[in-house]
Amino acid sequence: MKSFEVPIIYRSPLITAIKKKRKEADKMKKDFTPTLLDFGPVHIYLARHFGFCYGVENAIEIAFRTVEENPGKRIFLLSEMIHNPQVNADLQSHGVTFLQDTYGKQIIPFEELTPEDIVLIPAFGTTLEIEKRLNDLGIPTEQYNTTCPFVEKVWNRSEAIAQKNYTIVIHGKPNHEETRATFSHAAVNAPSVVVKDMKQTKELARYITGEKAPAGFYDEFKGQYSAGFQPEKDLQRIGVVNQTTMLASDTQAIADYLKEVMIKKYAGDSIEEHFADTRDTLCYATNDNQTAVMGMLETEADLAVVVGGYNSSNTSHLVELCEAKLPTYFISSEEKIISQKDILHYDFHGKQEILTSNYLPHHEPVKILITSGASCPDALVEGVISKLVRYYKTHLSLAEMTAAFD
């Protein structure tokens, strides 16, 4: 797989050494056990896979190269490049300006742009409507488009089943940049509807079976269906794709549920007449990171720490997996670790930071599981490890631990 040049400030000597050693020992990626960092009184268990993925590194490389190659030009980002506050702040410090916030709210009007300006398309992609609007202003989007290839794979899958007259059901968060982009690309080819979870999926199924009157669909799924959608007609043939960062198990459960609904409703027909075989459309990194967390959770531990941006979908799902088994702390950086006693962490259910005291147990060794999202720099993970181990009288320094993996 292609390697990318990303700023050295995002790299970590320790994490780089660990990842290199694990890759050499497990080229086929079949071993999902965590890596033990034994510091004596504190044991850190690092997930087998975590951190920057292919799409993120590609986006970061394009963005910083664009800044370097275009001195004096105005450079804009359509919205956040990725869901990591450090990376976005670094781009802004290099003169890059955001046009929209993460929810699509305009910060700078498109009318203020000129054909001489550069607009970077973020890794999530964007809608066809916005691409056209930029192109109509004389701003080309192809050269500075950092859309993740795995997001484009979903768009291609949607187009393929649309050509066979299937309606597209998208499992995703309706307000997420990627889902908005995927919806736009799907809706141009076929009737499309977004379901955010199994609860909404079951309600959609009631329109398929006829348990609910079609008229109620428009209020219940307001803002989540394509123009001209007719539930009584457009839900007879469906295929499921997803936002690439959703929980794989959730998407699979939704697809399986809808398939069973179709089998029961159209018992005399071949299932292929009503349900498209789309296979899973999560990206490899999402799959690897989620599987690595499940492997990590087989280790007995006291707590888990997940590092990443608070608005990162893939990171929140890693938190979800961890918190089902043990106390889990979702933090954006080492600065959130206030002391050996207190930690400031994010409750993504309540959408707020909360302060927890006595998060570290008083026995030794303390066993901590650590992972991070696909948009989180390894340097942040090393910073978290460094902050945690400094509270203990360890028998190895971070440098000595790094040397042990070289």
Residue-level pLDDT at 2: 67
Q: Which domains does the chain have, with CATH numbers?
A: 8-53+284-405 (3.40.1010.20), 54-136 (3.40.50.11270), 149-273 (3.40.1010.20)
Residues 6+ apart with CB under 8 A from 405: 14, 17, 18, 20, 21
HSE of 200 in the Cβ direction (CA atoms, 13 Å)?
A: 20
**Could you tell me the pLDDT band of residue 328, with boundaries at 50, 70 and 90?**
very high
**pLDDT tens sequence across 315-325:** 999 999 999 99
Closest among 118, 18, 114, 40 to 403, alpha carbons compared: 18
Residue-level pLDDT at 1: 58
Give the whole-angstrom CA distance, residue 360 versus residue 391.
10
The yes-or-no verdict on residue 298 having pLDDT over 80 is yes
Residue-level pLDDT at 268: 86
Q: Are 66 and 117 in contact, with CB atoms under 8 Å apart?
A: no
Find how far residue 108's CA is from the centre of its chain: 26
The yes-or-no verdict on residue 83 having pLDDT over 90 is no
Per-chain mean pLDDT for the chain:
95
* Burial label, 329 (beta-carbon count in 10 A; 0-12, 13-18, 19+): buried
pLDDT, average across residues 372-384: 96
Q: What are the catalytic residues?
A: 178
pTM, 2 dp: 0.90
Residues 6+ apart with CB under 8 A from 256: none
Residue-level pLDDT at 346: 98
The yes-or-no verdict on residue 263 having pLDDT over 90 is yes
Q: Which of 129-138, 220-229, 272-281, 348-357 has the lowest mean pLDDT?
A: 272-281
Q: Which residue has the higher pLDDT, 278 or 384?
A: 384
The yes-or-no verdict on residue 167 having pLDDT over 90 is yes
* Segment holding 192, helix H or strand E: strand 192-195
β-bridge partners, 305: 329, 370
Residues 6+ apart with CB under 8 A from 107: 98, 99, 100, 101
DSSP 163: T
pLDDT over 70 for what percent of the chain? 99
**Could you tell me the pLDDT band of residue 47, with boundaries at 50, 70 and 90?**
very high
Matching residue, tokens 């804009």: 76
The yes-or-no verdict on residue 6 having pLDDT over 90 is no
pLDDT, average across residues 304-313: 96
**pLDDT tens sequence across 174-219:** 999 999 999 999 999 999 999 999 999 999 999 999 999 999 999 9
pLDDT, average across residues 386-404: 96
pLDDT over 90 for what percent of the chain? 90
**Could you tell me the pLDDT band of residue 161, with boundaries at 50, 70 and 90?**
very high
Give the whole-angstrom CA distance, residue 331 versus residue 389.
16
The yes-or-no verdict on residue 239 having pLDDT over 90 is yes
Residue-level pLDDT at 285: 84
Residue-level pLDDT at 286: 87
pLDDT, average across residues 79-84: 88
The yes-or-no verdict on residue 16 having pLDDT over 80 is yes
Residue-level pLDDT at 339: 98
